[in-house]
Amino acid sequence: MCGLNNEMWHSGMWIFPIIGCCIMMCFICAMVFFSRRWFGGSCFGHPFSDSKSALDILNKRYASGEISREEYERIKSDIS
């Protein structure tokens, strides 16, 4: 039996388990990425389900007092 094991290492057969593990890890990563995207989670810090328009962001900034009325009107005319 020792000769058979030695032949496996010297003939390059050791690479197939490594390739199999790499393929499995890529498959698992892809499943996690797409399942979070499809079910409304966020991947890499970008929420896919909660996209806001520029006008929504502008209205929120104006309502919180972050920008003045003049700035609000100017930016709103630029957006439209």
If asked whether residues 33 and 64 sit together in one domain, one would say no
33 vs 42, higher pLDDT: 33
If asked whether residues 41 and 55 sit together in one domain, one would say no
Over residues 49-73, the mean pLDDT reads 86
Domain count, the chain: 2
Where in the sequence is the domain holding 66, given as residue range(s)? 50-80
If asked whether residues 8 and 31 sit together in one domain, one would say yes
Residue 79 has pLDDT above 80, yes or no: yes
Q: How far apart are CA 26 and CA 31, in angstroms?
A: 9
If asked whether residues 6 and 39 sit together in one domain, one would say yes
Three-state SS at 40? coil
Q: How far apart are CA 73 and CA 49, in angstroms?
A: 28
The pTM of the full predicted model, rounded to 2 decimals, is 0.41
The answer to whether the CB of 30 falls within 8 A of the CB of 22 is no
Q: How far apart are CA 70 and CA 2, in angstroms?
A: 84
If asked whether residues 65 and 33 sit together in one domain, one would say no
